[in-house]
Structure 1
Amino acid sequence: MADKTFRLDVVAPDAQLYSGDASIVVAQTTVGQIGIMANHEPMLAELAPGGCVVLTDDAGVRKALAVQGGFLSVTADTVTVLAEAAQFSDDVDVAAERAVLDSAAEGSEDFLRAKSRVRAVEAVS
C-alpha cells in the first residue's frame, strides 16, 4: 500500500499536530476545496479562513483539523500543512462554537475560528 500513501505533516507555530502517512487529504483553500492523493502534482495553496483539513491515515482512519489560515504545500512525495493555528476536531466544544457563530459578527476572527471548528467536527461526524 506504500505506493498509495504519502508523507503528511501538519504544523502550527506552537505544535506539530500530525506527522505520518496518509492516503488522502482534503483541504479548503481560497480557490475552493481540493483533494490530494499520492503522486499529486506539486503545488502551493493558501488555506481558506474558517476552513478545515480532513485526512485519512494509512490505516483508513479519518481525522479532521480546524485550521485558521496558512498554506498547503505539495511536493513529489510530501504534503505539508503550515497552519497559523490548528486544532483536532476531537478537542472542539461544538455547543460553545455554535454559540459563537450565533453571536459573533459574520466574517470576524471569532466567527471564522468557530466556523472552522464546527466544520472540522461535521467533517468526521
Structure 2
Amino acid sequence: MADKSFQVEVVSADERLYSGEATMLVAQTTDGEIGILAGHAPLLGQLTDGGYIAVTEVGGDRRVAAVTGGFLSISADVVTILAETAEWAESVDVAAETAALEAAEAGTAEHQLAKSRLAAAAALAR
C-alpha cells in the first residue's frame, strides 16, 4: 500500500458519487489508461466514452465506477473526475447490460453506457 494519499472527487451531472482519500486511481482517458499516485504532475485529460475509473482507498478497498465522457483534473493533492454519467460497478446487471450493448447501435449513448458498465464490472472482478 502506498504511504501517501490524495483527495478524489467523482461528480456526474446527477450527483456527487464519491469524495474520499485514495492511494491510487486508474482512469481511462482518450489518450489511454492512466494510473495516478500522490504527487502526480498536474494534468487535464478527457475521459473516454465507455470507460471506468478504479479508486484504491486508503484502507485498501477498491471501488470501480462506470463513467462516460467528461474530464479528469489533477492538481496538487486533488483528483477530480467530472463525468457525464457515473455509477458504481457493483450495481451493474451484467446480463442486462450485455443485452443492451447488443441491441444498441454502435456509437449511440445507449451503446457507450452499456459498454462502460460492462467494462467497470469486468474491472471490479479482477
TM bucket by the smaller chain?
A: over 0.9
Distance 1:7 1:84 in 2: 20
Q: CA separation in 2, counterparts of 1:82 and 1:114?
A: 19
Determine if the alignment matches structure 1 residue 88 to structure 2 residue 85: no
- In 1, distance between residues paired with 2:25 and 2:9? 11
Q: Which runs of 5+ in 1 are unaligned?
A: none
Deviation readout 1:78-120 (Å, 9 max, x if unpaired): 0000111100011111110000112212222111100000010
Determine the structure 2 residue equivalent to 1:5.
5
Name the Cα RMSD after superposition. 1.4
Structure 2 CA distance for aligned equivalents of residues 19 and 39 of structure 1:
18
Deviation at 1:2, TM superposition (A): 8.7
Matches within 5 A, 1:1-125: 4-125=4-125
Give the total of aligned pairs: 125
Give unpaired runs (5+ residues) of structure 2. none
SS at match of 1:60: coil
Normalising by structure 2, what TM-score?
0.94
Return the alpha-carbon distance in structure 2 between the equivalents of residues 102 and 79 of structure 1.
34
C-alpha displacement of 1:3: 5.2
Q: 1:92 is aligned with what amino acid?
A: V
Structure 1 runs of 4+ aligned residues shifted over 6 Å read none
